[in-house]
Amino acid sequence: MDFKELCNKIGEQNIDKWEQSKNGGGWINKKAKVAESVFVGSNAIIFSAQISDNAQISDNAQISGNARIFGNAWISGNAWSKSPLFIIGTRHSLTNTKYGYIKIGCHSKTINWWNENVKFIGKIEGYK
């Protein structure tokens, strides 16, 4: 992806704060620490992290926060760069099961589905 496509994906950016990986063509923010041995695929984006050794970041992965990736790790697709939300203490737990999805009890649905069906599922499950 070129810099214009990067901006379309994550919002307007200053090109001086980004560099394209020489090993894969993905985009790396200059505040991230990424070894030259790391493969960053052409659609991957590294916002901030420490990545070393023979790690491979590919597909549409986006890495941010205080992530530390090393060894022979492979990160791809819609991988979580931070731990997903997980709430317990009620009758059913709530968690992010994958990007854009929430699981409550045994029901894993999109966030939009939950917004549209909250009353219906609440009635079925006996919520008040």
d(CA 81, CA 73): 13
Take residue 56 and report the two structure tokens written for it. 């491979």
pLDDT at residue 2, rounded to an integer: 94
- pLDDT band for 83, please (50, 70, 90 cuts): low
Helix (H) or strand (E) holding 116: helix 111-125
Instruction: Name the residue with higher pLDDT: 4 or 106.
Output: 4
pLDDT at residue 24, rounded to an integer: 94
Render pLDDT for 23-73 as a digit per residue (tens, 0 to 9).
999 999 999 999 999 999 998 889 888 898 888 888 877 777 667 777 777
The ranges assigned to domains in the chain are 3-75, 86-125
Is 90 exceeded by the pLDDT of residue 22? yes
* Residues in CB range of 3: below 8 A, 6 or more apart: 13, 15, 18, 27
